[in-house]
A = this chain, B = another copy of it.
Amino acid sequence: MTPSSAVKAALSAQAIETPSWAYGNSGTRFKVFAQQGVPRTPQEKLDDAARVHEHTGVAPTVALHIPWDRVDDYAALAEHARARGLKLGTINSNVFQDDDYKLGSVTHPDPAVRRKALGHLLECVDIMDATGSRDLKLWFSDGTNYPGQDDIRSRQDRLSEALAAVYERLGDEQRILLEYKFFEPAFYMTDVPDWGTAYAHCLKLGPKAQVVVDTGHHAPGTNIEFIVATLLREGKLGGFDFNSRFYADDDLMVGAADPFQLFRIMYEVVRGGGFSPDVAFMLDQCHNIEPKIPAIIRSVMNVQEATAKALLVDAEALAKAQREGDVLGANEALMDAYHTDVRPLLAEWREESGLDPNPMAAYRRSGWAERIVAERQGGQQAGWGA
């Protein structure tokens, strides 16, 4: 196995971006269970994110969602972040919550709606200029619910056109991260349903367009690590939206549903050179019933544990067994790392990094949970609608 010192050095280079919206309320179509102490402003979301970074040491940036995090002065917001040891991260666009987008945004049959949607995307690039963000994450809920409802191919043409216009607007250091999703909220056809579609569009756009893999956005049974390996081989993996699922896009805490899958994904990341600044590690989750800040701390820890295990794989032993066609030996080389309990190693790494060895306990002791419940009275809690 890789020596633990090397693993710890690698872990120090990892950064996991947390999403502003995960600090706010979320739910299912049946009910949003509001939680006490939830932020009411982008600033308060950053305050919470700062707690996650303080206790884990690996969550230094926060993704924003426009319009949910729209502010008048992004420089001031960036300063608010900086003062708490954070930076603003990826800008996430939203072209799915305006009444005009009922039948689509950039793929809508009506050119006026398409122009409006494109306008929003371009505004997001303006915001990136203001926040200094590198990445624009594009998720399109666009699709249709019924066969025949709209023309699949024309919608691809319209999508292409919008993407090209956004790409054109990007600065030299800016990127599009194009997200795909199997289904929901569209229930018959989704305009960017799989990695192949996202890849084909990104390929035509150019090097500043990259695919983002949301781990909850695949058909049942899909081998996600294969996609990761393939996109890395093609130079087209821009990042991850981490979460976990048992069924659909459940948006549970990453690592909660299938920790072995997360490990296999992280192994392909490490093996394929994806453990680099070019690949953004982001969370995209909904904490519908569990308290949000500790859920995010746990999620960050889960990614970190999976990463540590992936780093522990004895690459030489694995390659040797693979070369020799030793099926059981090669599988064992991988499983050996997976079965290792890396929690002691991570506790060590945290102590060496000046952190509490147990982030969950440290957060509990901090009193932050009680404080925000007490202080955040009145106002409008943040959620998907605002």
Q: Does A1 contact B (CB under 8 A)?
A: no
How far apart are A322's CB and chain B's nearest CB, in angstroms?
Answer: 5
A384, B295: Cα distance in complex, Å: 28
Q: Is the CB of B196 within 8 A of A221?
A: no
How far apart are A86's CB and chain B's nearest CB, in angstroms?
Answer: 23
Q: Does A375 contact B (CB under 8 A)?
A: no
Q: Is the CB of B234 within 8 A of A247?
A: no
Closest B-chain residue to A313, C-beta based? B148
Q: Does A245 contact B (CB under 8 A)?
A: yes
Q: Is the CB of A328 within 8 A of B156?
A: no
Given known pairs A219-B222, A248-B184, the reply for A330 and B149 (CB within 8 Å) is yes
Given known pairs A103-B325, A219-B220, A257-B188, the reply for A230 and B110 (CB within 8 Å) is no
A257, B252: Cα distance in complex, Å: 20
Interface residues of A in 134-183 (CB under 8 A from B): 141, 145-153, 156-157, 182-183
Q: Does A67 contact B (CB under 8 A)?
A: no
Q: Does A102 contact B (CB under 8 A)?
A: yes
Q: Which residues of B contact A5 (CB under 8 A)?
A: none
How far apart are A287's CB and chain B's nearest CB, in angstroms?
Answer: 9
Q: Which residues of B contact A188 (CB under 8 A)?
A: 223, 246, 252, 257
Interface residues of A in 90-114 (CB under 8 A from B): 96-97, 99, 101-103, 109-110
Q: Which residues of B contact A152 (CB under 8 A)?
A: 225-226, 229-230, 268
Interface residues of A in 106-132 (CB under 8 A from B): 109-110
Interface residues of A in 217-252 (CB under 8 A from B): 218-223, 225-227, 229-230, 232-234, 245-248, 250, 252
Which residues from chain A sit less than 8 Å from chain B, CB to CB? 26-31, 33-34, 96-97, 99, 101-103, 109-110, 141, 145-153, 156-157, 182-185, 187-190, 193-197, 199-200, 203, 218-223, 225-227, 229-230, 232-234, 245-248, 250, 252-253, 256-260, 264, 268, 271-272, 288-291, 294-295, 298, 305, 318-319, 321-325, 327-328, 330-335, 338-341, 343, 360, 384
